[in-house]
Structures are given as structure tokens and as C-alpha cells.
Amino acid sequence: MHARTESDVLVVGGGIIGLVTAWRAALRGLRTAVADPEPGGGAARVAAGMLAAVTELHYGEETLLGLNLASARRYPDFVAELADATGQDVGYRACGTLAVALDADDRAHLRELHALQTRCGLQSEWLSGRECRRLEPMLAPGVRGGLRVDGDHQVDPRRLADALVTACERAGVVFHRSWAERLTVVRDRAAGAVLAGGTEAAADQVVLAGGSLSGRLDGVPEEVLPPVRPVKGQVLRLTVPPAYAPFLSRTVRAVVRGSHVYLVPRENGELVVGATSEELGWDTTVTAGGVYELLRDAHELVPGLTELPLTETRAGLRPGSPDNAPLLGATALPGLLLATGHYRNGVLLTPVTGDVMAEVLATGVLPEEARPFSPRRFSSVRQEQPA
């Protein structure tokens, strides 16, 4: 006979989105479990941790901007609460960001971005190349101008993931350290999952929070399967020796020949350089070409970077959705909810995702700010369902 466990909420996936959902749900008094062989793993082990609501604004994503800004505003209180709960510091750094242009095309692109930011009422200041270099002396002499965005900060996603595991443990979340293999559906309602090894993890509500893997759980009816896909990102980590510090004082980024490159300096000397964006399915190979392109573009931006030790190369998978925005809340299958599809913004959206998911799990009502992100916007039966 197989073992059986029971909870109010089963979260499938223990990356930062699953963990924050579980932590916040447990704080609301829900008996919560997480299924993941390695809680605290996933894309956050690779991500740079930019909280770049303003510098990563894209045309057509103004609705997403609202959620991104709401989450960015929550960050200081969120990390303070996490530190209180765990005694762990997650490396939140209110350092700001400088987005620079290296040639006339980049400059035109940045001017367009500045106009969009201004239309959206965002704080962003145009600087000359000389003003950029005054702020960041390691920048290349050829920098043609830039945008100073003092509100786009950073956090260390690995420390964030580790702290969320501790917070969950302390809040009484149960960890099933195995994969969920199959959603259990009883009388047209999600009722838990069967875990690797056969344990039946029964739950009143199931949250699918498996990042790019969220669309692959067996047993989920086709019409509610989340339309997420993996988007590969290769990321490098370098180390700034104490003698070179401060190498950069804020995040520096640019679009070089159409590719985004960013350099995120941590207080502990780590310098994260990212990221490629590749639609290659489940491939997580670090390639010579990917490393070459990142180093080439980063070197154009900050030539002195090639002196630094290269300490790590890694690739992760962003959970992309058809409109680049997350899927949050109930699906058309009663008892099954989603917290996935965060694409480029998983770290940024962690605080608001936790709050939104805890609210909908505890009350059944999706908060106003999350309504545009209901999974039902992609459901073929959506039109036939009452709102």
C-alpha cells in the first residue's frame, strides 16, 4: 500500500515562486506542502537578481509594468520580514542601474526607451557619455550616453532561495523531496499529486509552480496546461578582487548589436554577467559561443573586466509565456491554481506573487492587481466561463 499525506495546499515546484507561495500560504494558517527534489533550486540559482522594472520595460508590457512596480515597492519590507523570520540576509542592494549606449543605434534605442519610460511616468534621467563615466569610471571611453535609473535595484537570488527554504521550514511547510509525477483529479477537481515513489500527496488545492517545467505534469487536462516554454539564459560569474574594488557601484547594462548584456556587482565581490536568450527547448549546455558573446559584449562596455577571474558559467531556463507575463491564480479546473510563466521577472515578482497567491488560496479571490494575469486569459474555454 502507498503512503498518503494530506494538506490544505500542495505546491508543485520549490523554486523561489513555489517557496514564496508556500511560505505566505503557511503564514495564513494553511497546512502547506511543497513537492520538489531540491527545494531552493531552479532558475534562481542562475539568475542575476536585477529588480529592473524600469530598465527592462518593453513596448506592449505596460500592464505587466504595474505588477513589476508593485513588487519592486514591496521588496524592502519583504526582505526585512524574511530576515526577521530566518536571520538570513538576502543581499538586497538599493544600488540603482545605468543603461548605456555604445554606438548611434544603441543610443537611438535608449532614447526610445527613455521616451516610453517618461510616458509611463517612470524616473529615468538621460546622461551624456561623460556623465556616465563620471558615475562609473570603469566604463569604456566610447560610451555615447545613458539612462540613470536610481530605482532599479538587485537582490542575490541564491540567498533569496535559501532564505525562503528556511522561512518555509520555520512556518511549518512540509517538504516532499521528490518530483510530483501526476496530478490527482477526483470528480473533476484537483485533489493532490502522486509523487515519485508512489506517495499520494492529497491536498484541497494544488499550485503548479514548476517554472519552465510547469506544462509537463502528467494528469493535467490539456485545456488548463500552462502555455510555458523554456527560454535558455547563459550567465557568467566573475570575482572582483578587493584590490580592484569598487569595480562598479551599480548595475550596468546595454544592448550591444541587439543583445542585452548586464553586469550586476554584489557587495561580496561577485560580478554577474548575463544573459543570452535562446529558444532551444530543454538544453542547458553552456556553450563556447554563449560565453564568448557575453564576454565580448561585456568587454566592450567595461574593458577592464577581462582582468577578473571567471569563477562560474551556468545556464538556466526562464519560464516564458505567450505574453511574457505570469499566470497567477485559479484555472478552469477547480482546485488547480498556477504561479508560473514569470519569464524575465521571476526574482522581481517574488514578493507580489507570494501575496497574491496566499490571498487567492486563503479566500478564493484573486486580488485586483493580479486579475490581468489570470491563467484563464489563455484558456480556450475562457469565454464560456463566468468571470
Q: Which is nearer to ligand GLY, 132 or 273 (CB)?
A: 273
Please state the closest distance from residue 173 (CB atom) to ligand GLY, in A. Answer: 27
Among 158, 159, 250, 318, binds ligand GLY (CB under 6 A): 318
Q: Is 342 in the site for ligand GLY (CB under 6 A)?
A: no
Q: Which residue, 230 or 274, has its beta carbon nearer to ligand GLY? A: 274
Q: Which is closer to ligand GLY, CB of 233 or CB of 375? A: 233
Among 11, 50, 122, 256, binds ligand GLY (CB under 6 A): 50
- Of 97 and 184, which CB lies nearer to ligand GLY in the complex structure? 97
Question: Is 194 or 275 the residue whose CB approaches ligand GLY more closely?
Answer: 275
Min CB(52)–ligand GLY separation in Å: 6
Enter the C-alpha cell of residue 11.
505546491
In the complex, least distance from residue 354 CB atom to ligand GLY, rounded to whole angstroms = 19
91 binds ligand GLY (CB under 6 A): no
Give the residue with the Cβ less far from ligand GLY, 10 or 348: 348
Q: Which grid cell is 381?
A: 474555454
Q: Which of residues 223-242 bind ligand GLY (CB under 6 A)?
A: 233
Q: What is the DSSP string of 62-92?
A: HHHHHHHHHHHHHHHHHHHHHHHHHS-----
Q: Is 357 in the site for ligand GLY (CB under 6 A)?
A: no
Please, what is the minimum distance in Å from the beta carbon of residue 347 to ligand GLY? 8
Q: Identify whether the C-beta of residue 355 lies closer than 8 Å to the C-beta of residue 324.
A: no
Q: Which residues of 171-193 are buried (b: 16+ CB within 10 A; e: fewer)?
A: bebbbbeebbbbbbbeeeebbbb
- Applying CB under 6 A, does 43 fall inside the site for ligand GLY? no
Q: Is the Cβ of residue 202 or residue 213 nearer to ligand GLY in the bound state?
A: 213
Specify the length of the chain in residues: 387
Q: Is 344 in the site for ligand GLY (CB under 6 A)?
A: yes
Task: With CB under 6 A as the rule, give the number of residues binding ligand GLY.
Answer: 7
Cα–Cα distance, 236 to 48 (Å, whole number): 9
Residue 72 contacts ligand GLY per CB under 6 A? no
Q: Report the phi/psi class of residue 29: left, alpha or beta, with left for phi > 0 and alpha for psi in -120 to 50.
A: left
Nearer to ligand GLY, 182 or 314 (CB): 314
| Cell numbers that stand for 209 in this block | 509552480
CA distances from 192 to 76, 278, 333 (A): 34, 34, 13
Interface with ligand GLY in residues 134-163 (CB under 6 A): none
Return contacts of 24-28, CB within 8 angstroms, 24+ apart: 24/354, 24/355, 24/357, 24/358, 25/357, 25/358, 25/361, 25/362, 26/168, 26/171, 26/172, 26/173, 27/171, 27/358, 28/358, 28/361, 28/362
Distance (Å, rounded) from C-alpha 351 to C-alpha 124? 24
Largest CA distance in the chain: 72
User: Using the rule CB under 6 A, which residue among 42, 274, 316, 319 binds ligand GLY?
Assistant: 274
* Cross-strand pairs, 33: 10, 174
Q: What is the rounded distance in angstroms from the CA atom of residue 133 to the CA atom of residue 154?
A: 21
Nearest approach in angstroms of CB 64 to ligand GLY is: 12
State the minimum distance, in angstroms, from the CB of residue 377 to ligand GLY. 22
Contact footprint for ligand GLY (CB under 6 A):
50, 56, 233, 274-275, 318, 344
